[in-house]
Chains A and B, each alone.
Chain A
């Protein structure tokens, strides 16, 4: 089948994204995820089903099936910005890599047009589902949320052994890998926890950059809209001083550490 007619399920295309890889990027959000992180700011991404979500402007259908061709038509509109800024296309989610065929076709088309490609992934899936994409990707942005597998499971519903093993394999493949840490109060925001993650990241061959993404509450309205409970309660967002302290902890492990993307 022609790449352009391959169908996938997405729920948003966001242009001028500046915190999802290098430069000005277009982010395609794919539907469906493996983890159920309590703090997730895109709860509508988790189920593969097409859902209805209440918003301030009425009820919205979240998720639609589209073709690679249609997505690319959107993506190429911002080519001049990618060239100027070193940006490109980022696949996000959900867990983008679950929709293997769609992702392969989309990345193949993007590469054919000379567009820089990146993926934001949990890497919580068999390496066989990740490996075929690596040669089509310029950058992999993957989360390492916690080193302690039990705590990882408690907050995300899954253990972390597969994730840690995949991180090493991706790093060994030579694809540019950046580690990202959603920094969540009560979960992983102590200096020890961040240090452990950074130390692991620094042990991966070729990895030299880590992003600490401060917890925020911007997903709250969506939980209400989906008639779900918000699992984080009234937890305050971490302040700038605290983030800077954690950043220095990560930096001490020999990494370039950035707050935000």
Chain B
């Protein structure tokens, strides 16, 4: 007999009401948090930073508005208006001040902001000048790294502008003992300390800060209890009145105490989930193994007959709705890279437990069904797959895939567990992994993983090989030699590896500077209460309090690099169809496709270069250069060179020679990174995924030797270049499985788009599951799917109003299609359609 009940539960009518309310208004920027934070900071100058942070957190939670939305069973809202955001000036603020007038109308993730809130924020921003973590980080990054950042070789903007986030806290601990229990733990730790201890002052400050933070969380929940009681008194509907009273009872018990029912557990979970995101602006606060830590409360209630399975499902669905209520405003450039208002709250079901036994339970299925009911991008829903995953579970997941919502993402235990162990994670902890954000595995409650540390554009070092280290005329990289000095393909490839390795060292410098800035200016005492072993070590996660410490910056463009190297090996060195210099000219001329705007950029580059060398450039000379640029681009040879390149074999078609080169090329990024350490004593390790940054960062990337035009998107994750895989999903998967996914222990991302017909009928689901399992048998790590038709997407572009709830999986997360920028929409449409009729 199965260990679980997989029967589908009914969808409550409440869910559509909650959803309608969520989307009734546009997202807004609210000022309360920023104002209250600043108010507190101004009163605590001179105290230890960690205490100042705790007191500010308390001030926010004592005074910010509390809101219960219509029909809610699980309450707690970070903003008065749904899907809105608070502001976190302690990390950075000037970008927002600069964008006040455009943030409501920008193409990616617009937020409305009132004149009143602009005024409030302007006032508090004055205080923050010179006090932010980003300013401190900037002052510590070496000039060479800053230069590389200016030229978009890598972009650590995520943590530069924002909190770090990317964590799964000990939800289970709060569910079990509540914040009262954690305060007891703090007191026990105090009992072990002596004023003469070397770390006494820092540790006691942190313990005080943790206690203040936990008390603040309890106070905040009590404010909700009071509000619910007040609403109950006014409520005329008897059933809703009962609900308000139950909500009041729940909020007065949790998260102060351990949860006594499934409803309390859901409420407690939600307070934790939201409060972590009020303390800091870091995103990817990932609930992780919700089906595991919630199960005891579900089982106890169902066994005791206190709750029906339908009622439990309704509560889970309510939590899912709440996860879509949180939002975050990013600067316009980052908004393009993370488009879709996504918070990357990754929640994962299934897989094995710490003892290596299958962990699938009732809730694993109910999580799938919750996403099916709610049909919204949050949570970023994932499933773990291993050799003993019940087939029934995979079929249910496939049913969800078939809806076209772009969820779940599938993860392979058989690759991820040994991969984590190779980084020092224990067997038990590795088996208990969950996913952070897009694709990054970690052990919950023990890790400060810095998972999304930076984007590294793997094509930029290639560009620098062609220019002896220069970008836009500036010496950014190493001098690896003039092009005619490369006599063999290996010499050329060696230069690429050298440029990459140097850029990696600069990226590490930038990441570490930002890491230090967070530890100094924005330590997080509330988070410290739920990360082992912050209390024992007396350190916040930023300061090295966590058991496992990593920094994981992600490379992207592996398919472009592989295709480029292969074309160069074949056409330049083996067949001698053209020289590297000819290829460089073709690239400079964008293969003969140069718009006036591009010609202008090139001209400016040349003029800058000449001026630097002391050559005077007058107007006539500029016009002459411009003409030369335009004329040169007309050379038919360039288009010819591109045709030859495009005719070469490409990654993604199951061709052994190209795939082997791709595997090796990926090592040029993943291997050198491993030698570096972060200030918390942890290791750097690579991810291979781009979120959606392959589009905006592609826009800043010159033409590449794989035949890609300047400014067009770079390949997505470890997926083949868009449109280059022409032999269907099995061939693409065979190629991608040739990469070493294990060494990229911060995750790899393989995106595949299906026409719905490929999944039609029972056999469609079976074949789909077989495809996933086979890719996993071949040691792939992650897979995600878009099941939509091209026509649907085109129509959605034309008539966004009719497709408001159309969710599309964009590189590691799901987003509402109509909220994406035009260029990203086009990218999604152009991905090879793996239709199968």
Contact = CB atoms under 8 A, between A and B. Distances in A.
Given A77-B734, A85-B766, A258-B761, A18 B836 contact: yes
Contacts of B767: 18, 23-24, 85, 87
B763 A15 contact: no
Interface string B269-284: 0000000000000000
Interface residues of A, number: 22
Given A218-B837, A260-B760, A15 B770 contact: no
Contacts of A15: 727-731
Contacts of A80: 774, 777-778
B777 A19 contact: no
B728 A16 contact: yes
Interface residue SS majority, chain A = mixed
B730 A84 contact: no
Interface in B744-793: 758, 760-761, 763-764, 766-767, 770-771, 773-774, 777-778
B90 interface: no
A109 interface: no
B771 A16 contact: yes
Nearest to A261: B763
B560 interface: no
Given A23-B770, A218-B837, A81 B763 contact: no
Nearest to B777: A80
A153 interface: no
Contacts of A258: 761
A162 B784 CA distance: 48
Contacts of A83: 774
Interface in A67-103: 77-78, 80-81, 83-85, 87
Contacts of B836: 16-19
A14 interface: yes
Most buried by A among B729, B774, B834: B774
B731 A77 contact: yes
Most buried by A among B758, B760, B770: B770
Nearest to B772: A84
A80 B737 CA distance: 12
Interface residues of B, number: 23
A31 to B, nearest CB: 20
Given A258-B761, A260-B761, A24 B770 contact: yes
Nearest to B760: A260
Contacts of B728: 14-16
B30 interface: no
A14 B764 CA distance: 17
A19 B763 CA distance: 9
A14 B731 CA distance: 10
A85 B770 contact: yes
Interface in A1-36: 14-19, 22-24
A247 to B, nearest CB: 12
Interface string B551-593: 0000000000000000000000000000000000000000000
Interface string B27-50: 000000000000000000000000
Nearest to A14: B728
A84 B837 CA distance: 21
Interface in A46-86: 77-78, 80-81, 83-85
B764 to A, nearest CB: 6
Interface string B63-90: 0000000000000000000000000000
A218 B774 CA distance: 30
A259 B760 CA distance: 10
A78 B777 CA distance: 13
Contacts of A78: 730-731, 734
B552 to A, nearest CB: 30
B774 A81 contact: yes
Given A16-B771, A16-B834, A23-B767, A84 B777 contact: yes
A19 B730 contact: no
B730 A81 contact: yes
B774 A16 contact: no
Nearest to B776: A84
B654 interface: yes
A218 B778 CA distance: 34
A16 B729 contact: yes
A260 B762 CA distance: 11
Contacts of B761: 258-260
Contacts of B774: 80-81, 83-85
Contacts of A85: 766-767, 770-771, 774
B727 A84 contact: no
A84 B778 CA distance: 12
Interface string A174-196: 00000000000000000000000
B737 to A, nearest CB: 9
A42 to B, nearest CB: 11
B654 A81 contact: no
Contacts of B731: 15-16, 77-78
A18 B763 contact: yes
A218 B755 CA distance: 14
A258 B762 CA distance: 10
Contacts of B771: 16, 24, 81, 85
Contacts of B654: 77
A221 to B, nearest CB: 14
A146 B462 CA distance: 62
A24 B730 contact: yes
A18 B778 CA distance: 20
Contacts of A259: 761
Given A23-B766, A85-B770, 15 more contacts: A15-B729, A16-B728, A16-B731, A18-B767, A18-B836, A24-B730, A24-B771, A77-B654, A77-B730, A80-B778, A81-B771, A84-B774, A84-B777, A259-B761, A260-B760
Q: Which 4 A-B pairs have the closest CB atoms?
A: A85-B770, A84-B770, A16-B728, A15-B728
26 contacts: A15-B727, A15-B729, A16-B731, A16-B771, A16-B834, A17-B836, A18-B758, A18-B763, A18-B764, A23-B766, A23-B770, A77-B654, A77-B730, A77-B731, A77-B734, A80-B774, A81-B730, A84-B774, A85-B766, A85-B767, A85-B770, A85-B771, A87-B770, A218-B837, A258-B761, A259-B761
